[in-house]
Amino acid sequence: MRSTMKTVLKLWLGWCLLASVFAGGARADTLKAGVAKVDITPAPGLPLWGFENRKTPATGTRDPLYARVLVLEAGETRLALVALDLGRCFGPASLQHLRELAGKRSGISYLLAVASHTHSAPVISDSYPQGPQCVPAWETSTLEKIAAAIDEARQHAVEARLGTGYGVAYIGHNRLAHNPDGTVSWFERNTTRIPTAPIDPTVSVLRVDTADGKPLAILVNYACHPVVFGSDNLEYSADFPGVMTKTVEDTFAGQPLCIFLQGAPGDINPFYAVTPVEQGAEKWRDWSGQRLGEEAARVAKQIHTEAAPSACLDYAENQLTFSLRWDLDKFRQALMQALGPQGFLVYATSLAPQFQLPVGTVLINRRIAFMTMPGEPFVDLQVNWRDRCPVRDAFFLGYANGYYGYFPTIRASTEGGYGAASSSTWIEVGAGERMVDHAVIQTYRMLGRYRDLPEDMQPKTAMNR
């Protein structure tokens, strides 16, 4: 009898211990999220990004430029996503400074900065020939503003839940027209909306809600150049992404912060690209932004958000080495002839035999993946990433954490045309495909699909003997 009681007692104690172990293992981190927005519009007088034939600096502001911030937190990991109404991301030194500020003030583990690529924002350079002390005052103050916005978002972070959805919007076309004789022509405007290929009309939406289901942020990922305004526009503007974000926010009565995430529009223009201001550019900017915003809002309304039973944030940013696509000496000579000594001085700071390009991969709750490219990817790269990513929800972010010109596909590189075989394309052929490969592999690795040893060298267990 005593022996039986002892056995029962041992079993009971063992069950209690086992139950406590599983209860400890079941405790999971809660996902928290916070948002903030800050106006980064400079004073008039700065040169504008994007059009070589635009020589006059900005004369004023048509609509403000913003930095929109989403901070996500799970356990000890804290990510900051910064979406900028700019033509490109900051240069390496400025971006590193922003990361240091965010790390010191807000405990940010990883910062991801992505530009919308509007061509009505101030010029940003990788470096300034006169030295670090000559970084424009606007850029320096903007970094401080963004760091403060990141901290504001971190301080107001609340328990959050996520959901995704997808729609379709047609506001643009492929701007490289393929002719019957095999040549490629520049197809800047498409006012009759003739179908072209390749394009990607997918509107990818990530909705972030508070724990009680109130919308906190709506992220919209889409691929199209923000160039409804052309070189004659001399006022700062977010172009159609600014209208898109306002359309979404107005639909939700101003509750959430809408964040535009540019995709891979290296060969995609809006139908009404470079419309002269006097011929209704503002009207067509609004048409493009509202059309995209209405579809994004429709999708966002239908998304059902859920709390993850085990919230987690994984991230990696790797430096991949690429060579210059062109013969360096010949390329330098050609640039000198085309741009003159002063223009060459600015351009040549980005020339080298080899480049280290940052490629970022983020995995949220093991089901939502982001990949980044530091430049202007062609749209087929975005489609390829989404098709091959091992999780269903795959977002592609161009113009992120750096700028290294265009990334055409291998095929586009052989066909030619602007961005495919022009001076704005200086990284080696195949760089885009290799970056997609890298992000796919990294996502599999984050999911734990790779082993440290070959299958036939794994430790023997009762399961595999």
Instruction: State whether the Cα torsion 48-54-56-59 is positive or negative.
Output: negative
CA distance 412 to 380: 10
Residue 344 banded pLDDT, cuts 50, 70, 90 = low
pLDDT exceeds cutoff 70 at 464: no
Centre a 10 Å sphere on the Cβ of residue 336 and count the other Cβ atoms it contains.
15
- The percentage of the chain sitting over the pLDDT mark of 70, rounded to a whole number, equals 90
Lowest mean pLDDT among 25-29, 196-200, 251-255: 25-29
C-alpha 197 chain-centroid distance: 23
pLDDT tens digits, residue range 159-168? 999 999 999 9
Q: How far apart are CA 259 and CA 270, in angstroms?
A: 19
Q: Are 92 and 349 in contact (CB under 8 A)?
A: no
Residue 347 confidence class, pLDDT cut points 50, 70, 90: low
pLDDT over 60 at 21, yes or no: no
Answer for the pair 318, 439: CB distance below 8 angstroms, yes or no.
no
Q: Is the model's pLDDT at 12 over the cut of 60?
A: no
- How much of the chain, in percent, has pLDDT values that exceed 90? 81
> What pLDDT was estimated at residue 88?
98
| pTM for the full predicted model | 0.91
Which residues sit opposite 70 in a β-bridge?
A: 35, 81
pLDDT score at 461: 61
Residue 232 has which token pair? 């004659």
Is 24 a residue whose pLDDT tops 60?
no
The neighbour count for residue 403, using CB atoms within 10 Å, is: 22
7 pLDDT above the threshold of 60:
no
Distance of alpha carbon 141 from alpha carbon 42, whole angstroms: 10
End-to-end CA distance of the chain: 41
Amino acid symbol at 230: G
Q: Name the residue with tokens 């095999």.
A: 182
* pLDDT confidence bin for 451, thresholds 50/70/90: confident
Half-sphere exposure at residue 112, Cβ-oriented, CA atoms within 13 angstroms: 28
State pLDDT tens for residues 373-390: 999 999 999 999 999 999
* Residues 173/432/435/266 CA torsion (nearest 10 deg): -30
When pLDDT is cut at 50, 70 and 90, the band that residue 395 belongs to is very high
71-130 residue pLDDT tens? 999 999 999 999 999 999 999 999 999 999 999 999 999 999 999 999 999 999 998 766
| Whole-angstrom distance, CA of residue 383 vs CA of residue 396 | 9
pLDDT band at 19 (very low <50, low <70, confident <90, very high): very low
Tokens of 289: 């932004």
Nearest to 359 by CA among 452, 427, 458: 427
Q: What is the pLDDT of residues 201-241, one digit of tens each?
A: 999 999 999 999 999 999 999 999 999 999 999 999 999 99
Q: What is the pLDDT of residue 140?
A: 95
pLDDT of residue 328: 87
The answer to whether the beta carbons of residues 371 and 192 sit under 8 Å apart is no
Name the one residue in this structure whose structure tokens are 């160039």.
227
Q: pLDDT by residue (tens digit) across 289-309?
A: 999 999 999 999 999 999 999
Cα–Cα distance, 361 to 372 (Å, whole number): 7
